[in-house]
């Protein structure tokens, strides 16, 4: 189970106490925000794409929308969302719990600059009933992010 991989990852770092679990679902930005009692922007949503047939993850603020033109400018190709049935096999986490931690080897993680609008963000922690609290800078560190990108639409 993916949450067990994420828990083990954070246990090795001495940070497992940060993981929050819930009775209610946190599978969507709206459900996670409700469970945590925060605005949707505080939820760090992880989107999974295929670029040239290879998986790629981008984490955006929950209230941000992706700009396809910016995505293509940054990554050099148009991204295609990974079909839900293929996400777990390609990334290592099932839809609703996709997060930037303990992903399959070779899957790069990028963080969108929309996250900088929040002091604290809450990405999923490997399943659809979990989250983990951290700053955007901590998220960059713990996710071993390949870099910051700007692929969100301006309001």
User: Mind listing the pLDDT tens digit for each residue in 41-91?
Assistant: 999 999 999 999 999 999 999 999 999 999 999 999 998 999 999 999 999
Q: Are 133 and 122 in contact (CB under 8 A)?
A: yes
The whole-number pLDDT of residue 155 equals 64
List of residues 6+ apart from 39 with CB closer than 8 A: 33, 62, 63
**Class for the domain spanning 2-149:** alpha beta
Q: From CA 11, how far away is CA 9, in angstroms rounded?
A: 6
Q: From CA 26, how far away is CA 123, in angstroms rounded?
A: 10
2 pLDDT tier (thresholds 50, 70, 90)? confident
List of residues 6+ apart from 1 with CB closer than 8 A: 126, 127
96 pLDDT tier (thresholds 50, 70, 90)? confident
Q: What is the mean pLDDT of residues 120-126?
A: 96
Residue 154 reports pLDDT greater than 90: no
Query: What are 130's strand-pairing partners?
Result: 21
Which residue's structure tokens are 């639409």? 153
Tokens of 24: 């209610």
User: What stretches of the chain show up as alpha helix (H) in DSSP?
Assistant: 2-12, 29-36, 68-75, 84-91, 136-142
Based on its alpha-carbon atoms, the radius of gyration of the chain, rounded to whole angstroms, reads: 14
């Amino acid at each position: 189970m993916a949450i067990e991989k994420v828990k083990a990852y954070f246990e090795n770092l001495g940070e497992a106490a940060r993981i929050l679990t819930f009775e209610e679902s946190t599978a969507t930005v709206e459900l996670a925000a409700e469970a945590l009692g925060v605005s949707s922007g505080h939820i760090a949503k992880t989107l999974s794409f295929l670029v040239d047939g290879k998986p790629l993850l981008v984490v955006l603020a929950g209230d941000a929308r992706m700009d396809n033109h910016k995505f293509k400018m940054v990554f050099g190709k148009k991204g295609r969302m990974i079909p839900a049935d293929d996400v777990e096999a390609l990334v290592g986490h099932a839809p609703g719990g996709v997060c930037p931690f303990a992903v399959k080897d070779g899957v790069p993680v990028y963080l969108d600059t929309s996250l900088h609008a929040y002091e604290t963000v809450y990405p999923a922690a490997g399943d659809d009933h979990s989250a983990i609290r951290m700053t955007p800078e901590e998220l960059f560190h713990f996710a071993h992010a390949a870099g910051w990108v700007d692929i969100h639409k301006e309001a």
